[in-house]
A = this chain, B = another copy of it.
Amino acid sequence: MPKQGMAAIRRPQLIEATMQAIDSVGFSRANVQLISSYAGVTPAIINHYFGGKDGLIEATMRQVLRSLGASVRQQLAACHPDDVLGRIQAIVCGNFDQEQISPKAVKTWLAFWALAMHEPQLHRLQRVNEQRLLSHLRLELKRVFEPERASFMAQAIAALIDGIWLRGALNPNGVDVALAQHVIKDYLEHQLPVAVLKQHQAFQATAHAL
């Protein structure tokens, strides 16, 4: 049930403009005037389509989360269901997708993370996302480890992902995807049984042969 009329145009347009504004001046200075100017409209439009600035902020966060979810799902889809190492790496790739590590996305994301600590609505959204990452990782790890160990390692990998990402947010060179992949691959190679690594190499080889 796609919104009809101008809403289908204006809503995504204003969400994009919100991220642009946060990217260029930071959340605290991203006021409705600036946001609407990026979208080429007047501030009143925000109230018309989102009921107010708060509504736009929430919609923007939902968009960021949806985009991340889609990114991970896409990477997982291109991966054999039994290739445990490959699937964990796919989750990592999804989190460090070109779109997800753009300065615009990174700054918006971090601004929301800080905001979520005091806005119950945003806090709930962020929690769901956090749990989803853990649950994705746990699902794969349970194929190799007992539940408790799988849960433990899932938290470690999630921390590595978020930690590298967070440090990248403050780094002038941006998020270092290569480092992220290297660090997590190294971690898994020291933790996973040799059989799982071999199996992954086999899947890689057959995929390459296609």
Q: Chain A: residues with CB nearer than 8 A to chain B?
A: 25-29, 107, 110-111, 113-119, 123, 126-127, 130, 152, 155-156, 158-164, 166-167, 169-170, 179, 182-183, 186-187, 190-191
What are 12 A-B residue pairs whose CB atoms fall within 8 Å in the complex? A107-B118, A113-B166, A113-B169, A113-B170, A116-B170, A117-B169, A155-B179, A159-B183, A160-B160, A160-B163, A162-B163, A162-B167
B-chain residues with CB within 8 Å of residue A160 when the two chains form the complex: 156, 159-160, 163
B-chain residues with CB within 8 Å of residue A162 when the two chains form the complex: 162-163, 166-167
Looking at chain A's contact residues, is the secondary structure mostly helix, strand, loop, or mixed? helix
**CA–CA, A209 to B182, complex, Å?**
41
CB pair B167 A164 closer than 8 Å: no
Query: With contacts A28-B115, A160-B160 known, what are 18 further pairs, Cβ within 8 A?
Result: A26-B115, A28-B28, A107-B118, A111-B117, A113-B166, A114-B114, A123-B170, A127-B170, A130-B167, A152-B183, A155-B164, A156-B160, A156-B183, A158-B163, A158-B167, A159-B163, A159-B167, A190-B191
Task: Please give the count of copies of this chain that the complex contains.
Answer: 2
B-chain residues with CB within 8 Å of residue A152 when the two chains form the complex: 182-183, 186
B-chain residues with CB within 8 Å of residue A127 when the two chains form the complex: 170
CB pair B186 A156 closer than 8 Å: yes
**CA–CA, A159 to B167, complex, Å?**
7
CB pair B110 A113 closer than 8 Å: yes
Q: Smallest CB-CB separation from A182: which chain B residue?
A: B152
| Most chain B CB neighbours (cut-off 10 Å) among A29, A117, A127, A186 | A117
CB pair B118 A110 closer than 8 Å: no
**CA–CA, A174 to B123, complex, Å?**
14
**CA–CA, A187 to B156, complex, Å?**
9
**CA–CA, A184 to B98, complex, Å?**
29
**CA–CA, A127 to B152, complex, Å?**
30
